[in-house]
Structure 1
Amino acid sequence: MLLKAQLVSVLLYALVLAANAHMAAWSRGMYCMKGRGGENNMNNNLPVNPLVDLTQKDWWFQHYQGCDKEPPPAGDYLELPAGGSFTVEIATNRAFTTFGHNRNFNGYFGGPQELEYTPWGCVSDPNLHTPNQDSAPGTVFAISYQNSIDKVTPENLVVFTVRYKTPWQRVTSYDVPKDLPPCPPGGCTCAWGWIPMGCGQPNMYMQGHKCIVTGSTSTKKLAVAKPPVYCENDRSKCVKGAKQMIFYFQKDGNNVFNVPKMPTYNEVMGFSEGAQNDIFEDSNLVSTVGNVLLNSYVNLPSNCYSVSNLPTNTEWTLVTNVYSPVASNAMIVESREELKSISTDSITTETSSQITSSDKSPINGTDMKTEFDNSPKKTI
């Protein structure tokens, strides 16, 4: 009975962690900035929702919650200066950016300025899925030269910039390849994404932006993007040239399978930091990825465990101590349904179709699609 009580306590804590806000990259050109259905929600956190165990139709550009149908106003773009850099705001909620009520918001973090931690040392609010900045797994932007989001495919959506040790602070800049060509009329379609290295449930992020390349006269063309490959211990296996975003932890549409550790946007999967200058059809494909091996653990603290038995495209088995050390190494959640079966008056569950925007629900579409009735909105 004691072990069962401990397990229930641990699972409830995991659900509380899942209910905390996640992160999105906020820009003028982002999809779902204002919410859905013509609203202008200054307290919007819809775009921050992670993606896990969904069909490709649903996870692609957050279709399951309608964000792919909420483009920015005509003429609003995320501007990408060729050979320069651009800046976005990584935050848990529109209210924690300069796009919210306070246009002069200057917080270092895109959420509460006093970080909250789990008992095992992970930052839980804002939910950065990391114990510290050095352990942050990296984030990327990818670009497709399609002006309609409906025409974007994994093959024409190419990762063009990588920033290591993110997400962490709110104001984050990314470098742009100098040979990135101009976009077609109507602009390009971009996506921001990341894969958490640990500290919570495994999931992925893919968030849409309308973007445009400025200051470019290049006539180069992007090569067809290939799926990245795990190559931490053998650089000869790294995919050179144009790479797709990492698609993992989903029911279908995955492009990475059976890797020995979390497939993150850094040397583990062959991504160098900064502008990806080898993504063109005529690129000299010489690997620029360093030879420094990353730590073989999910997180750096000594109380974390090595990754094993990660979910494939056909199974979802979460060993809780892979991400969060708990009372017993033997505590295993056999399925996500087991988490949902816990009885408590403070928890309700929603299906994807029932998730509404944040003016109606304080927590939108968390990892487990779980809403805590008494959770306050994050406002400033």
Structure 2
Amino acid sequence: MVSTKLAFIAGLASLASAHVGMYDKAGMYDVKPGITWAGQPADKSYAPAIPLGAQNGENAPVDGAFWFHGADIVASRANGGNNPATGTQKKLQAGGSVTLELACNRQWTSLGNGASNNPNGEACPDGVEVWKSRHVSSDPSKEVYLGCGLAIAYKDAATLDSLDDIKASDMTIFSVVEDCVKKKDTTFQIPKEMPACPPGGCVCAWFWQGQDSADEMYMTGFFCDVEGGNASLQPGTPQVAKYCPNGGCVEGPKQPLIWANTDSLHPNNVEKVNGNKPGYTAAWGFRDGPQQVVSGASSGNTSGGSNSGSNGGSNSGSNKGTETDSNTDSNTDSNTDDDEVSTPTTPAPAPTFAPPLAEGGRKGWKNRKQGEAQSSTQSSRQSTSESCGWPGHCRGDPCTTYNDCWDSMICGAESTCVPLSAKFRRSIIERA
């Protein structure tokens, strides 16, 4: 038992190379030094990549709420704060594109030593399995992406006392890259029809969802401004996206996908549906490229859909979905043959929101049980703490280390994967 605990604790060190954050010289809302994660001081170079999941109270990797990485930056003014270059803005050219650096650590980017130690431009070059570090799959031959998106809030950054003043309902996803994270340098296309920002600038954020990961999301904020924006345009009211693999997607401007957290100020707006994580893919009404920001306007997206055959992720077996822009001309993606006809089926049921987790926590030991307070009609459902989305690495499968097992399991004394009990998780958290 002791060796099992030690193996689990040792596994925590490897997690730092398996998460991704956004890094940029201009406008990035950085995280203060001195924060803690898994009971230990977090390297400031890694802090922006800390995953955001079930973060409340003392169990939060970053103290306070998850939003914009919580209390470590929300107290700073939105038009400066802890930026590497205080007060600078990231310029977004309407109808153009912007390239951001996505990496497991600052050292692999231009903010660190990326030019010399990351010549191939990998997001996680130090990972033993680079493909796994990006949470794209447990199998390198079958990379699955759930995409990432950029969102903008048309709030005057100069008048905001805190980033906490911005809500998910204030933010609109304006660009999506479905095969994300694939490489460090990731280019996002910007819609042609973008309203101009207020005089003090806007607040933007990068959102990402990994496929092969715990129940967690990722978010990095930055101070931004739209160049060439139309002052006569007004942003539309963003709606909450829904799971729509068979059609019936939410059209028009959409909010970022907020889930896996327990913050009362910034509540979840989506949850997993039938085990499928929320993602910036066609299965959730997003297409690769620029998105619609102004109600009734075109996004400028002429793409037929995803540019990756696996981009539907676990959210659907294919990327067939409903185009979300007003210039819709097809309900199939670019991976569908020209002569193939999509047959509409009954839309998937709307998400059922799970109650807040009883325990906050981090990847690997957070309590994902959702059945402790369920009614008798749900009592037969298998607890998610023992469910497994990584075939061959589930309960009873052979293992040598903690990393050989699904997120909610460890490598037991008999060298097989075993579920991590709530009691054991609590003991680990107390020892961390």
- After TM superposition, the score normalised by the length of structure 1 is 0.71
Paired-residue identity, %: 24
Shift in CA distance, 189/282, structure 1 to aligned 2, threshold 3 Å:
same
Q: Deviations 1:300-326 (Å, cap 9, x if unpaired)? A: 9xxxxxxxx999342323336225723
Equivalent in the alignment of 1:185: 199
* Preserved CA contact (<8 Å) 1:43 1:95: no
* Preserved CA contact (<8 Å) 1:135 1:299: no
Aligned partner letter, 2:394: V
What CA distance in whole angstroms lies between the structure 1 residues aligned with 2:230 and 2:268? 35
Equivalent in the alignment of 2:53: 52
TM-superposed deviation, 1:109:
3.9
What CA distance in whole angstroms lies between the structure 1 residues aligned with 2:183 and 2:146? 13
What CA distance in whole angstroms lies between the structure 2 residues aligned with 1:89 and 1:161? 15
Aligned partner letter, 1:59: F
- After TM superposition, the score normalised by the length of structure 2 is 0.63
Q: Deviations 1:86-105 (Å, cap 9, x if unpaired)? A: 11111122221112256666
Aligned partner letter, 2:22: A
What CA distance in whole angstroms lies between the structure 2 residues aligned with 1:91 and 1:167? 9
- Is residue 397 of structure 2 the alignment partner of residue 331 of structure 1? no
* Preserved CA contact (<8 Å) 1:195 1:263: yes
* Preserved CA contact (<8 Å) 2:31 2:69: no
- 2:170 is paired with a residue whose SS is coil
1:108 to 120, 125, 141: 120
What CA distance in whole angstroms lies between the structure 2 residues aligned with 1:339 and 1:42? 24
What CA distance in whole angstroms lies between the structure 2 residues aligned with 1:310 and 1:195? 19
- Is residue 255 of structure 2 the alignment partner of residue 244 of structure 1? yes
What CA distance in whole angstroms lies between the structure 1 residues aligned with 2:106 and 2:98? 19
What CA distance in whole angstroms lies between the structure 2 residues aligned with 1:331 and 1:218? 58
5 Å matches for 1:27-106?
A: 27=24, 28-32=26-30, 35=33, 44-55=45-56, 58-66=65-73, 69=76, 70-72=81-83, 73-101=85-113
What CA distance in whole angstroms lies between the structure 2 residues aligned with 1:11 and 1:299? 34
How many equivalent residue pairs? Answer: 321
* Preserved CA contact (<8 Å) 1:33 1:44: no
Shift in CA distance, 10/230, structure 1 to aligned 2, threshold 3 Å:
farther
Q: Structure 1, unaligned stretches of length 5 or more?
A: 301-308, 350-380
TM-superposed deviation, 1:338:
3.0
- Is residue 232 of structure 2 the alignment partner of residue 219 of structure 1? yes
Which has the higher mean CA deviation after the structures are superposed, 321-330 or 161-170? 321-330
- 2:220 is paired with a residue whose SS is strand
- Is residue 295 of structure 2 the alignment partner of residue 267 of structure 1? no
* Preserved CA contact (<8 Å) 2:123 2:182: no
What CA distance in whole angstroms lies between the structure 2 residues aligned with 1:239 and 1:183? 25
5 Å matches for 1:1-380?
A: 11=8, 15-27=12-24, 28-32=26-30, 35=33, 44-55=45-56, 58-66=65-73, 69=76, 70-72=81-83, 73-101=85-113, 107-110=119-122, 113=125, 115-117=127-129, 123-124=131-132, 127-131=133-137, 132=140, 134-146=143-155, 147=157, 148=160, 149-198=163-212, 200-232=213-245, 234-236=246-248, 238-252=249-263, 253-260=267-274, 261-276=276-291, 278-283=292-297, 290=305, 294=312, 296=314, 312-315=354-357, 316-317=368-369, 318-319=385-386, 321-323=388-390, 325-328=393-396, 331-335=418-422, 338-342=424-428, 349=432
* Preserved CA contact (<8 Å) 2:153 2:202: yes
Shift in CA distance, 310/224, structure 1 to aligned 2, threshold 3 Å:
closer
Equivalent in the alignment of 2:328: none
TM-superposed deviation, 1:113:
2.8
Aligned partner letter, 1:31: Y
TM-superposed deviation, 1:218:
4.9
Aligned partner letter, 1:158: T
What CA distance in whole angstroms lies between the structure 2 residues aligned with 1:158 and 1:254? 16
What CA distance in whole angstroms lies between the structure 2 residues aligned with 1:36 and 1:145? 31
Shift in CA distance, 43/203, structure 1 to aligned 2, threshold 3 Å:
closer
What CA distance in whole angstroms lies between the structure 2 residues aligned with 1:77 and 1:326? 46
What CA distance in whole angstroms lies between the structure 2 residues aligned with 1:36 and 1:187? 29
Shift in CA distance, 242/213, structure 1 to aligned 2, threshold 3 Å:
same
- 1:223 is paired with a residue whose SS is coil
Shift in CA distance, 170/348, structure 1 to aligned 2, threshold 3 Å:
farther
Aligned partner letter, 2:424: E
What CA distance in whole angstroms lies between the structure 2 residues aligned with 1:205 and 1:135? 17
TM-superposed deviation, 1:268:
2.0
What CA distance in whole angstroms lies between the structure 2 residues aligned with 1:186 and 1:106? 36
What CA distance in whole angstroms lies between the structure 1 residues aligned with 2:89 and 2:46? 20
Which has the higher mean CA deviation after the structures are superposed, 11-20 or 252-261? 11-20
- 1:331 is paired with a residue whose SS is strand
Cα RMSD for the two superposed structures: 3.9
- 2:168 is paired with a residue whose SS is coil
Q: Structure 2, unaligned stretches of length 5 or more?
A: 36-41, 58-63, 319-350, 358-367, 370-384, 398-416
* Preserved CA contact (<8 Å) 1:240 1:287: no
